[in-house]
Amino acid sequence: MASSKAELRERRRRRVRAKVSGTAARPRLNVFRSLEHLYAQLIDDDAGHTLAAASTLDTDVKAKTDLKKTQEAVEVGKLLAQRASAKQIKSVVFDRAGYRYHGRIKAVAEGAREGGLEF
């Protein structure tokens, strides 16, 4: 019964992934959060390809110094939306990967919405 936080998140992730799937027209926006960095990518599950990706390691985000992690997450969302619009992607399915919709995960979604993506 005493499962770790990581095991519980993995269970939630699998439960959500059973229901959420992305296509080329409406890809899945997947978010991964580590202690220092945040990664987001648009995935076409039918073909098994990543269509666009952004992270806090990108030079566009790193160039903006003195940002808090949540502010970096908003920038990652905006950058991903910009890269998606370059590939004519306007609508996505949000996959929070078992994380709570709070903090940096919520900030990525808000940044992507500001950038023009529809959820």
Instruction: Please state the three-class secondary structure of 46-100 as a single string.
Output: CCCEEEEEEECCCHHHHCCCCCCHHHHHHHHHHHHHHHHHHCCCCECEEECCCCC
Residue 109 pLDDT greater than 90, yes or no:
yes
User: Cα–Cα distances in Å, from 113 out to 11, 47, 50, 70, 104?
Assistant: 27, 25, 20, 15, 14
Q: Which fold has domain 22-114?
A: Nucleotidyltransferase; domain 5 (3.30.420)
Contact criterion met (CB below 8 Å) for 52 and 41:
yes
Share of the chain above pLDDT 70, in %: 98
Residue 18 pLDDT greater than 80, yes or no:
yes
Residue 42 pLDDT greater than 70, yes or no:
yes
Average of per-residue pLDDT across 69-95 = 95
Q: For residues 21 and 104, give the distance between their C-alpha atoms in angstroms, rounded to a whole number.
A: 22
Read off the pLDDT band of 47 (50, 70, 90): very high
Average of per-residue pLDDT across 75-91 = 95
pTM given for the model: 0.88
Average of per-residue pLDDT across 2-17 = 89
